[in-house]
Amino acid sequence: MTSTFVLPPPVRERPKAAIAMAFVLCPLLLLMSCYGFWQWFTLPPEARDLGRWEIFYLISLVVIPLALFVFMSVVAAQRLEHAQLSSSYQARIDQLQKRLNHQEDLLHLVTDYHPSALTIFDQDGRYWFVNRRAARDLGLEVKDVIGKVPVKLIGHDRARRLEARLAEVRMSGRPIEAMDRVIDKHQQVHFVQMRYETIEPFGELRGGVVMREEDLTNLIVERERRETMLQQVIQTLVAVVDRRDPYASGHSVRVGQLARAIAEEMVLDEKQIDAAGIAGSLMNFGKVLVPREILTKTTPLTPDELQRVRDSILTSADILSIIDFTAPVVSTLRQVLERYDGTGVPNGLKGDAIFMAARIVAVANAYVALVSPRAHRPSLGLKPAVDTMMQDADKIYDRRVVTALANYIENSPVKLDWLTAVKSA
């Protein structure tokens, strides 16, 4: 088992000895035949009346060497021609072998400097090819890996997963990807992304599968660090709003938590879930620009003051646009005030033209407000608040979002702490 490309050697024959023998024997046979002729023509007339055996001897002395001479000449000519053809064939084989070796060296040169570990497995699940990075990850030289079975190099558990994936990609014919948590010989944890893909038959290789491994540990650690920093920034911004508007303390956190829970209930993708949660937490950040006397006012707000508070949500989007969120948080904030029937602001968007995350945040914000006690009214309670919002479904709110909220409130065995507190109050 080797990855080196070697052409089969040609059939080796040794015509040189036969040709040399022919060059030696042919002149001797020709001399013998001439000697027979000379014996016959130099006999005196009275001696030519020979017996039968003497005549047979003289004829044999002439004919047999001559026939052998012709035969040996033909054989020598054929052998010489064959030797020339064999030499030409061998030269072409050597040239082709040199070219293949050059291509193999080029292949190793390219793959050995590839940042990812590249491995090819044959139909029996053995290592057929590895680049330098893959061999280094195994702690071996390339020559010590080729032909081995994975269980002898990577352990039983990893080998069993590998064999299952090789079988899966061969059966489906489609590439598959997986993420493994690997502990190296230094007991360090690595997160390795693997991609498996079948390859076309090549030479003696049948049923081959190429595996590409990429260590994403640094990327994942950096992403987690960035997410931690982002959460710290969000918590700081929310704390600023709470200090600015003590009457709505905790409102932003609750909206963010509930928006995330609704998005998860609707089984949205990770980016939409993050957008709903973060936008819900930060939708009131624009209140930092609203005068404190408006936020702390105990009497009803004037229409201008109420509009200023509502506009602060759009201001939140403008302020937070300088932050590079991985999810569409800013776009979500710009559409929170849109209504499902198209009567909202600022652009009068309607229905599915509004981001799903924005529709979710609008529902979460309204629900948190309804279940939170205010100076002029008590909490509506969990179910009455849902019933109230359902009356505005397909008008202000998306009915699917309100239904997902109702399902979460009714069926989720583990609810948010503040929801549990509202239910028990």
Q: Which residue has the higher pLDDT, 79 or 152?
A: 152
Average pLDDT along the chain: 81
The whole-number average pLDDT for the span 7-30 is 56
Count, residues in the chain: 425
Q: What is the pLDDT of residues 249-263, one digit of tens each?
A: 788 999 999 999 999
Strand residue runs (E) in 8-159? 117-121, 127-130
Q: Considering only 112-116, 127-131, 152-156, which range has the smallest mean pLDDT?
A: 112-116
pTM score, whole prediction: 0.59
State yes or no: pLDDT of 79 exceeds 80.
no
